[in-house]
Structure 1
Amino acid sequence: MTDATFDFRAALAANADARPDHPAVICGEDKLSWRQFVARAEKLAGTLADHGVKPGDSVASIALSSVDYAVLWAAVLRLRATMAPLAPSSTPDQIAAMVADSGARFVFVDAPNRAEFGAVLDGKTLVDLDRLDGFIDPTAQAPKLAPLDPQAGFNIIYSSGTTGTPKGIVQSCAMRSLHITGGRRIGYGPDCVTLCSTPLYSNTTLVSFIPTLAWGGTVVLMPKFDTAKWLRLAERHRVTHAMLVPVQYRRLLADPGFDATDLSSLQMKFCTSAPFAAELKAEVLRRMPGGLIEFFGMTEGGVGFMLVAHEHPDKLHTVGQPQPGHEVRIIDEDGNDVPPGTPGEIVGRSPATMNGYRNRPDLTAKAYWIDPTGKEWLRTGDIGRLDEDGFLTLMDRAKDMIISGGFNIYPSDIEAVLLTLPGVVEAAVVGVASEAWGETPVAFVVAREGPLGGDAEALRTAATAKLGKTQRLAALVLVDELPRSHIGKVLKRELRDSFRGTVA
């Protein structure tokens, strides 16, 4: 590796030499030792090279997690090429546009996604990821390893937009290097067994998947999250590390088999990607062994926050402090710093920042705020406030803030009140158009049976008693579940679009 950048590919080869029979990747009954994993990746890399893939090229994938999906990552990076993992939840038009944007000639797909997207990928070479032996040339030899360019693309992560074509976030080898070395400081190492239950096309997964492999541990993959299966896998494989999104924690704790499962091997649990309620953090700390770390940041990078929850039980309402080497400012609409405790937009700087949006210099430029001294700060689009200790309380996305009668209303404040009501399991608040106020808040609630659980108006009345006048709900809608993205984020645009009521 270079002085500044961790060489992921070289690390994999070293792991195969040092611990050839140690398990590298497990998915269901499929399992590869470190020797097998690296050897298969070398053959796939050689085959791709024989087909013309070279350093700097992109290779796309559309698939659920599998052992060979992990092999594909290793093979592409072995060639100093760039991975472009795409979400199968995308529309065919989005898939076609993302593949075109990535520049990938090869697209690796599993059977369901070939059937779903094959028709819109005319002109691309589709390779069946679940029948990889039919593509790999057993005589192929991987080329000599090219020099590592720290600023070369490691991967392209396409943002999960709800409309239009997602933007391609180019993360460099240097940026991933910081994730890897930072992972070592928080427990990833040769003895870790990491259970990845979110998809391999999500940055949420990659910040656990990549450090685990880099340091010679074992990755256990789940193609689809299921609480009973997660518990069985954690117990069977003596899992030490796990990255979960908040809704997964909530569902695991509610599983009837949770308390009977031996989770004593857990050393560290992580969470990111969606709001993590303080009450849920406290329950995780109480009922699940090991420490708990929450991350808050963007796939684009900039400032990242970390809450070491087991060391700061009095700060569970926050997302922690800036990570080492990261800078943060909270600014108002005019770019002025606001005092501690005052909400404002979160902007930040760090070495762990994207190269930019692929093929979109215009959007890349808009992603930054330039202060009066000329320094560039990446905009998060989030509203938050810092306390006197430097811990960040996250309010809302700026676009989700409701302006009602000239007052700023933060949906998270209302959601926190709703979650205190008997029977309320989940809540999301959005702004809808109002002739009287411009916008007004409407709540969507998942509730259990109980004194108030089945009565929307009773819940709204109970919430009104605890809310300020400007926060009062115009309507409350009971739903069976909240719409979520593949990493558990509530899709508030879908909730707004679904509202069919009338408000004053």
Structure 2
Amino acid sequence: PSVTDRLAWLVRRARRPPRLRLLTNTGAALDPGTVAALREAIPTLRVQLMYGLTECKRTTIMPPDGDLERPGSSGRALPGTEVVAVDEDGTRLPPGEVGQFVVRGPHVMAGYWRRPELTAERFPRADGLFPELRTGDYGWLDEDGYLYFSGRRDDLYKERGFRVSATEVEAAARRVAEVAEAAVLTPGPRTGGRAVLVAVTPLDPADLLDRMRGFIEEYKIPRRCVPVAALPTNGNGKVDRRALADLVDAGAGAGAGAGGRDGTRARTRTEAGADDSVTTDRKG
């Protein structure tokens, strides 16, 4: 998604659309707004969404532009591959219920090199024969077998008694026109037990949270929002969550910035010279 966001940013500034035929994605969920912007800017572009991870590569594949008919889906399982959603006890869940994805198939690797304990945890043997991968990813499948990704185990949290996906909240924030980037810090000791939305935006925090109501359910909107000048990233271009928490702490305290592990520096808007406050708490 970070690469796709940068591509959309570059395309918007290009004098003429690039000759791009197909865009594929198999990492985290793509922001619908980003995909729509790319389609508008590149008339020849088709988008093909997939789901997979290192331990099994591709698991499900959507037909090109299939997301237009089934928004949010990453497609159906490849031939010879089985993917199901299970509860905490490993029981298969019916269509529509959120659980952990478990994958079986010839492309699932046998385990981790010289890590027998981790292999036993992530690759239990079904019927004592075939390894099945406990992905750590959560989501659901519809009645036709189409997969819908909700988030990683550490991306899901409880908000006011409901399960919330940080990925979904971030996507909703990015759909607000004035938001360039967004990331969610899930509830924990460093966030006071509450989710925190961090966004690169000129908007007032309360205004941003209010605008998100048109894109996501009210109970999923974090009560705290922190605007920053940039999100810290690691060497892979992904958001550095630890550095982001440091940045939020510094901004809330002394208004100072924080550097990521790879040396990337991000500044709060206070450090950048903005007049408005760094954080806000929503009422209600």
TM-score range (shorter-chain normalised) is: 0.7 to 0.9
Secondary structure, counterpart of 1:309 in structure 2: coil
- 1:269 is paired with a residue of what secondary structure? strand
Which of 369-378 and 478-487 deviates more?
Answer: 369-378
Give the aligned length. 251
Cα separation, partners in 2 of 1:369 and 1:252, compared to 1, 3 Å:
same
Describe the shift of the 1:306–1:477 C-alpha distance in structure 2 as closer, same or farther (beyond 3 A): same
Q: Which of 166, 172, 178 is the matching residue for 1:411?
A: 166
Distance 1:279 1:481 in 2: 20
Q: Measure how far apart 1:329 and its partner are.
A: 0.8
SS in 1 for 2:170: helix
Q: In structure 2, how many angstroms separate the alpha carbons of the residues matched to 1:426 and 1:391?
A: 28
Which residue pairs with 1:479 in the alignment?
228
For the pair shown, which has the larger CA radius of gyration, 1 or 2? Answer: 1
1:386, 1:393 within 8 Å by CA — same for their partners in 2? yes
2:193 maps to 1:439? yes
Instruction: Pick the aligned partner of 2:94 from 339, 351, 372.
Output: 339
Q: 2:187 aligns to what SS in structure 1?
A: strand
Measure how far apart 1:468 and its partner are: 4.5
C-alpha change, 1:316 and 1:286, in structure 2 (3 Å) is farther
**Mapped partners of 2:205, 2:7: distance in 1:** 27
Alpha-carbon distance in 2 for matches of 1:426, 1:323? 33
Q: CA RMSD in A?
A: 3.2
Q: Which one-letter code corresponds to 1:367 in the other structure?
A: R
Q: In structure 2, how many angstroms separate the alpha carbons of the residues matched to 1:472 and 1:257?
A: 31
For 1:376 and 1:355, locate their aligned partners in 2 and report how far apart those are by CA, in whole Å.
6
Partner Cα separation in structure 2 for residue 393 and residue 495 of structure 1: 28
1:273 match: 27
Alpha-carbon deviation of 1:317?
1.7
1:358: how far off?
Answer: 2.0
The correspondence of residues 283-432 of structure 1 with structure 2, limited to 5 A, is 283-288=37-42, 289-301=44-56, 304-370=59-125, 375-404=130-159, 406-432=161-187
Q: SS at the partner of 2:62?
A: strand
Query: Matched residue of 2:149: which SS?
Result: strand
* C-alpha distance in 2 between matches for 1:357 and 1:363: 7
In the other structure, the counterpart of 2:238 is 489
Higher helix share: 1
Structure 2 SS opposite 1:427: strand
Q: Is residue 403–residue 439 contact of structure 1 (8 Å, CA) maintained in 2?
A: no
Whichever residue aligns with residue 393 of structure 1, its letter is Y
Instruction: Return the offset for 1:466.
Output: 6.4
| Superposed displacement of residue 346, structure 1 | 0.6
Match of 2:8 in 1: 253
Residues 125-136 of structure 1 aligned to structure 2 (within 5 Å): none
From 186, 205, 210, the counterpart of 1:456: 205
Q: CA deviation at 1:296?
A: 1.8
Q: How does 1:214-225 map to 2 (within 5 A)?
A: none
Give 1:315 shift. Answer: 2.3
Once the 2 structures are TM-superposed, how far is the Cα of residue 372 of structure 1 from its aligned partner? Answer: 6.7
Give the Å deviation of 1:271.
2.3
Q: Which amino acid aligns with 2:35?
A: K
Q: Which amino acid aligns with 1:495?
A: L
Query: How many angstroms does 1:381 deviate by?
Result: 0.6
State the identity as a percent.
Answer: 29
| Partners of 1:338 and 1:458 in 2: CA distance | 39
Distance 1:365 1:317 in 2: 32
Q: Are the aligned partners of 1:403 and 1:409 in contact in 2 as well (CA < 8 Å)? A: yes
Give a deviation string over 1:216-246, Cα, whole Å, max 9, x none.
xxxxxxxxxxxxxxxxxxxxxxxxxxxxxx3
Which amino acid in the other structure matches residue 318 of structure 1?
Answer: S
Change beyond 3 A, Cα 1:325–1:313 = same
Contact 1:330/1:385 (CA < 8 Å) preserved in 2?
yes
Contact 2:175–2:215 under 8 Å retained in 1:
no
Give the equivalent residue in structure 2 for 1:119: none
Deviations 1:117-169 (A, max 9, x none): xxxxxxxxxxxxxxxxxxxxxxxxxxxxxxxxxxxxxxxxxxxxxxxxxxxxx
Letter in 2 for 1:484: T
Q: Secondary structure at the match of 1:348?
A: strand
The alpha carbon displacement at 1:284 in A equals 2.9
Assess, with a 3 A threshold, how the Cα gap between structure 1 residues 294 and 458 changes in structure 2: closer, same or farther. Answer: same
Shift of residue 441 of structure 1? 1.4
Q: Name the amino acid aligned to 2:85.
A: I
SS in 1 for 2:33: helix
Question: In structure 2, what is the Cα distance between the partners aligned to 1:427 and 1:364?
Answer: 34
Instruction: Give the Cα–Cα distance (whole angstroms) in 1 for the partners of residues 132 and 192 of structure 2.
Output: 32
Using a 3 Å threshold, how does the CA distance of structure 1 residues 360 and 267 change in structure 2: closer, same or farther?
same
> What SS does structure 1 have at the residue aligned with 2:93?
coil
Q: Is the 8 A contact 1:338 1:344 kept in 2?
A: yes
**If the length of structure 1 is used for normalisation, what is the TM-score?**
0.44
Contact between 1:302 and 1:350, CA under 8 Å: does it hold in 2? Answer: no
Q: Unaligned 5+ residue runs, structure 2?
A: 253-278
